Every structure is written in C-alpha cells, then in structure tokens.
C-alpha cells in the first residue's frame, strides 16, 4: 500500500482523502476522491487506537486485519440497493491494515437524523422496511449483521436507508474471530440471546432492528445504563418499558421484542406490519435532508408533543404472537447470566456530517447577520426553559441564525457550561443547531457528544466514544481564539468559489489538528446541495484561506 504524498493525502496512488466523515476505536472513515474514475467515494481507514498494537499484541492486530477482510467479503456477497457497495480494497499484506473503498452515501446516518429529534411512527416504519430488506438480502447470502444500530444505517439524499458496517457480520459456518467468552456488537441493540452467549440467528437481527425503531420514535434507549456491564444486565433481566410515542408502530415493537426468539414474527410478517404503519399517515417532515460535516452525530432526546395513539392495525395470521388490538403488553427479555469478563469489540462507526436546513447560512442584503431568520419550512418552535443539566443563552432565540461570529461564541460558551469540560474533540455549527464532542475532564481520548439548539441550549446526547489516535483535542481557549469574525467573509467566498449551485446546506466547523498529516487547527466551511454536489473551503486559525475545493473536483 502506498499512501502517497502526505500533503495530498493520497492512498494507493489513487484515492485522495478530502474530509473525515467519522471514526471510532477501530479507525476512521474518510470522504475521498477517486483520481482514476473521477468520483467521490468513502474510504475506511482501519487503524487501532493504539498504534503499537502490532508490536505487543500481534495476535489481536492479525485478528483486526482478518475482520476487515471479512467485512469486504461479507459486503461482496450481498448485492442489494439497501446495502452499501464495496468498490475496492487496498491491502498491503500481512502486518498491515487494509483500507476499504466503498460507495459514498451523502445523506448522513440515522444517528444524525435522530440528532434532530425522534421520528414519527410512519417515517420510522419506512426506514425500518428498507433496513429489513437489506437484512433479508444478507440473511439469504448467509450473512448476519449482528450490529444493527442508528450509526450503521446511512440515508441517501432521497431518504432511502443503506445498511453499512458489516465488520462484525457473521458468515454462516465461518470460524469465529473473537476470543472464547467474548461477545461482539453494541450492547444496547444486541438481542438477549446473543448477550447470553448464543450465536443467535436472523431473528436476533430483527430484535436489533426493532430496538433501533424503538429508540427512533421514543427519543431514548430504554435499557441503556451508565456502564457496559450494567447495560448488558438490563438487556438480560429488565423489562422493556412499553413505548408511549410509537402509535401504530407499537404492535410491531411488542411482537418483536419478546423473550423467545422463536416467538418473534418472521421477516415477512414484520415487513407487512411495517408497511401498514408506513401507509397509515403522513409525517410532518421528510426523511431526506442535507448532511455532510465530518463529525460524530448526537442522537438527543428532546421534548416533543406526544402524538395521539393510533388504532393498532389487525394483521393476518402470519404475524405470530400478536395480542388483542389496542392492548399493550410489557416487553420482556431473556434472563440469563453473562460470562465473567465479557469483552465487547465495537465496529467502526459510520457517521456523516449533520447539515443545516435551507439556504440560510449567509447574511442577505439588508438583514442583520446576527439575527437573520431561518428559511426552513414550518413554524419555528417556541423557546422553552432550559432543562436541568443544560445551558442555554437567552440572546440566541429559536429563529436565530447561528452562523455568525457572535452566536458561534455563544454556542462555545454554552457547551463549556453544560459539559463542565474545557476541551473539544470537534465542533460544528449549522444555521439552526450546533454539535460538539466534549472531552471527558482529565482524558485526551474520551468524549461525550452535546447538541445546542436556540431556546433549549446545550444538551448532552447519548453517544460517547474515543478520538482516533491521529486527532488531537482542542482547548476551549484555542477554539475561542479562532478568528470567528472572518466567518461572514468565508461564507461569502464559499458562495462564489465552491461552485455549488443552489446550496441547501451550509455549515462551519473547527478543523481538527491531525498528527498524521500535520494539520493545524483551523476553520472549514462546507456547502452542498440536493444533488450531492459539495465543496469545502479551509482557512487557518486567523481566517486566511488556505485551500478551496470546489464541487466536482
């Protein structure tokens, strides 16, 4: 493998890395340009948090490499429009970590979508059907996903879901790549039978899908606890509280999230139920929305009006385990013991950048840029008191455009106050909200995500993680010292030079310091439109433009 000139950030002499889309403990996903075919792609860089892993633990390093190669083979076996397509693999052989080159899905992840608030039941059902189609295609090829969760569901710009990250997928009859007594997956979404040590079957993926839909409509995870072991214990022993916002989706959740895997309805029955819910009513907002900044998104539980319960549909005999219409049953899980010292090996998290809504980032002639209103459709939410544990600033109202120097500084202060941290892992501001990874005090790798919205202030999200080894956190003082006063001029220059026609999304973010590419802290401006055309402008800490990458480059 030849990584090429580090200044150009070219992998294998062909794939030029353009922007970081997300990352986790196992590596980083980049937006890249295929210099041979002149198209945008996603490149997964597999790089463990500890760069010395291969030296002191060659067995684990070898297992990581095998796992990535298995992901490529898993994806190659599943040909379906709702499954991410793999184009190429860059493999330097034993002792190296491969790079996976895949199709770029520009619509962001479901985790990004949930950062805006819970879904309506019909919208969740439509997304659920697409993911279910992908799972059925995988199961038919002998592949079980084993890690269905919001971060692993990408959304195309037209709203269609795409299932990704098959890094821990199990191929039937394949030798397990995990150590004895270990389990892999994300504990929140694992089926009880998998947590208790069984391999599980396709019905375990259906459990994960149903739990994901539960989170999508309720706005919170019912079994997440403060630690991994506590979450595992809750999955095994605690009842799943009945949903309160699921409406017509409630019977689906009740029937799939049951104790006995054999009692769950099969995929065909689940699809029929989801189809009925999807067709039951119109959603207040579309699934498709612009996303693109490179940062970890934050699902946030926000107060929303509770929809009126819909009359549950009566399904045919194929829907096994169905109770009487309109009747709610407690959702129960398997009670079992977890093997002592169980280790969870999470997959690389695919996260694309959240985008703003509408072309409202730059000041219009005759308007005060500090108070320019959003052009998003629909009524603006009324400001509400800050809940306990959040920080809000009354000077930023629900109709304030956050892409101004004054409001960017307000947001930075709000994140500091809400988190109690003076260090940022990343920081992105959209016209109508902002997000940040706030470093855990005393740690240079662990972070907790926060989201800021005018009227409600900064609130802690439900995602926690660690920075990829090549990225450095930035102190709040350094972030404040960036020349945010240059933002209006940078936005105006981006409008002229990025060649993005009729942009529907714009956002400003901190450029993270990167030790691999010797990239210093700075400011980035992104523009994109509904045709997935996007461009980026990069400036140094003083707001001086260093690079302009127009759309189509």
Q: Active-site residues: which are they?
A: 147
Q: Which of 90, 108, 95 is nearest to 17 (CA)?
A: 90
Q: Which DSSP string do the residues of 21-56 spell out, in sequence order?
A: EEEETTEEEEEEEETTTTEEEEEEEE--SSTTHHHH
Rounded to the nearest 5°, which phi and psi values hold at 456? -115, -20
Give the H or E element holding residue 218: helix 202-218
Helix (H, G, I), strand (E, B) or coil at 304: coil
Task: Say which residue the tokens 């000139």 belong to.
Answer: 5
Work out the number of other CB atoms within 10 angstroms of the CB of residue 294. 25
For CA atoms 51, 56, 62, 63, give the dihedral sign.
negative
Give the H or E element holding residue 202: helix 202-218
Give the H or E element holding residue 303: none
Question: Do the beta carbons of residue 202 and residue 139 sit within 8 Å?
Answer: yes
Task: Say which residue the tokens 């693999």 belong to.
Answer: 89
Which segments of 325-433 are extended strands (E)?
344-345, 423-429
Angle between helices 121-140 and 267-278 (to 10 degrees): 150
Question: Do the beta carbons of residue 446 and residue 464 sit within 8 Å?
Answer: yes
Which segments of 350-442 are extended strands (E)?
423-429, 434-439
DSSP 234: H
Question: Do the beta carbons of residue 204 and residue 194 sit within 8 Å?
Answer: yes
For CA atoms 473, 478, 479, 483, give the dihedral sign.
negative
Task: Return left, alpha or beta for 328; rule: phi > 0 is left, psi -120 to 50 is alpha, else beta.
Answer: beta
Q: How far apart are CA 422 and CA 442, in angstroms?
A: 10
- Tokens representing 74? 């898993």
């Amino acid at each position: 493998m030849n990584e090429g000139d580090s200044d150009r950030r070219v992998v294998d002499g062909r794939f030029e890395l353009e922007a970081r889309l997300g990352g986790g403990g196992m590596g980083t996903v980049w937006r890249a340009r295929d210099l041979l075919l002149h198209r945008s792609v996603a490149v997964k860089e597999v790089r463990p948090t500890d760069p010395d892993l291969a030296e002191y633990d060659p067995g684990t390093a070898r297992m990581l490499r095998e796992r990535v190669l298995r992901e490529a083979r898993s994806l190659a076996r599943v040909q379906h429009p709702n499954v991410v397509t793999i184009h190429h693999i860059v493999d330097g052989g034993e002792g190296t970590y491969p790079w996976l080159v895949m199709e770029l899905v520009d619509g962001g992840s479901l985790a990004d979508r949930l950062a805006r608030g819970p879904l309506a039941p019909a919208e969740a059902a439509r997304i659920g059907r697409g993911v279910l189609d992908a799972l059925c295609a995988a199961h038919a090829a002998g592949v079980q996903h084993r890690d269905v969760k919001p971060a692993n569901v990408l959304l195309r710009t037209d709203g269609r879901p795409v299932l990704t990250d098959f890094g821990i997928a199990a191929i039937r009859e394949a030798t397990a790549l995990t150590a004895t007594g270990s389990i892999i997956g994300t504990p929140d979404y694992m089926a009880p039978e998998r947590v208790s040590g069984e391999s599980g079957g396709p019905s375990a993926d259906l459990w994960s899908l149903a739990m994901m839909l539960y989170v999508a409509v309720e706005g919170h995870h019912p079994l997440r606890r403060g630690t991994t072991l506590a979450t595992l214990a809750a999955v095994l022993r605690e009842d799943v509280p009945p949903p309160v916002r699921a409406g017509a989706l409630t019977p689906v959740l009740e029937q799939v999230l049951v104790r006995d895997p054999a009692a769950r309805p099969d995929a065909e029955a689940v699809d029929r139920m989801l189809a009925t819910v999807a067709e039951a009513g119109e959603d207040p907002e579309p699934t498709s929305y612009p996303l693109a900044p490179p940062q970890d998104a934050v699902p946030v539980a926000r107060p929303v009006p509770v929809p009126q319960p819909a009359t549950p549909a009566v399904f045919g005999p194929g829907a096994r385990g169905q109770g009487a219409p309109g009747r709610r049953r407690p959702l129960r899980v398997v009670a079992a013991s977890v093997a002592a010292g169980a280790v969870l090996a999470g997959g690389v998290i695919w996260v694309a950048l959240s985008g703003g809504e509408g072309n409202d980032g730059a000041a219009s002639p005759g308007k005060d840029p500090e108070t320019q209103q959003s052009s998003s459709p629909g009524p603006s939410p009324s400001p509400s008191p800050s809940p306990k544990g959040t920080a809000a600033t009354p000077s930023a109202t629900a109709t304030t455009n956050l892409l101004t120097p004054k409001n960017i500084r307000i947001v930075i202060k709000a994140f500091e106050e809400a988190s109690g941290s003076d260090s940022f892992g990343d920081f992105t501001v959209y016209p109508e909200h902002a997000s940040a990874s706030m470093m855990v005090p005393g740690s240079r790798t662990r972070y907790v995500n926060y989201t800021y919205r005018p009227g409600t202030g900064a609130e802690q999200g439900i995602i926690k993680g660690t920075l990829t080894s090549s990225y450095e956190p930035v102190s709040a003082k350094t972030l404040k010292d960036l020349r945010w006063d240059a933002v209006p001029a940078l936005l105006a220059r981006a409008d002229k030079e990025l060649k993005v026609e009729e942009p529907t999304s714009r956002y400003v973010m901190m450029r993270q310091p990167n030790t691999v590419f010797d990239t210093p802290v700075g400011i980035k401006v992104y523009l994109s439109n509904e045709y997935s055309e996007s461009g980026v402008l990069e400036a140094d800490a003083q707001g001086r433009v260093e690079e302009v990458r127009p759309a189509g480059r």
